[in-house]
Structure 1
């Protein structure tokens, strides 16, 4: 999920660049369709590849899975954008089971 990818990116970049990188990375999720998101993602690669080659390399490896939520209708994208809802539900089940 993009939220966890963003957290991982934060841990691997300089503090001075974090806000800028996160703002640019969030633009991927805000695109109207997958094609626009791919363009923004590749622009992100081009801009930050020189400074953070290891981060960009990791993103390229997971790119097919990174934008999967665009395959679903816009109405449910927000709920599958993050796995937090699923994790929360699993925690409720664990508590009830105990």
Structure 2
């Protein structure tokens, strides 16, 4: 089965929207550890520790993360040199916006 990469930045934003303000800093710092690991096994271990720690308080968040877990760590299948540019789709989205803006016809002298 093929998996596509979920943008971890967007996943983090979604988590922020679903947790208490007092817990956001702690949760985000711990979730950031997932993409900072050296390999997929370490990242999976960190992610499961995250589930264990926050599962009782934020079961709905953990449940949704477990549903997309296969798609969260796809970037570990690629060489370390390019992981930083693909764990987030921000670069791709930015590039697509530039293309849209340039491709949109502009009428400088309307009739």
- Determine if the TM-score, normalized by the shorter chain, exceeds 0.5: yes
State how many pairs are aligned.
98
Q: Deviations over 1:60-97 (max 9, x none)?
A: 00000000000000000011011000000001100111
TM-score with structure 1 setting the length? 0.99
Query: Pick from 70, 73, 84: which aligns with 1:78?
Result: 84
Higher relative contact order (CA 8 A, sep 6+): 2
Task: Provide structure 2 residue ranges, at least 5 long, that are not aligned to the other structure.
Answer: 1-6, 105-111
The 1-side partners of 2:38 and 2:103 are apart by 40
> More helix by proportion, 1 or 2?
1
Aligned to 1:40: 46
Structure of higher CA gyration radius: 2
Query: Pick from 19, 35, 47: which aligns with 1:13?
Result: 19
What is the root-mean-square deviation of aligned Cα atoms in Å? 0.4
Moved runs in structure 1, 4+ residues, more than 4 A?
A: none
Q: Is residue 22 from structure 1 mapped to residue 64 from structure 2 by the alignment? A: no
Aligned to 2:56: 50
Aligned to 1:68: 74
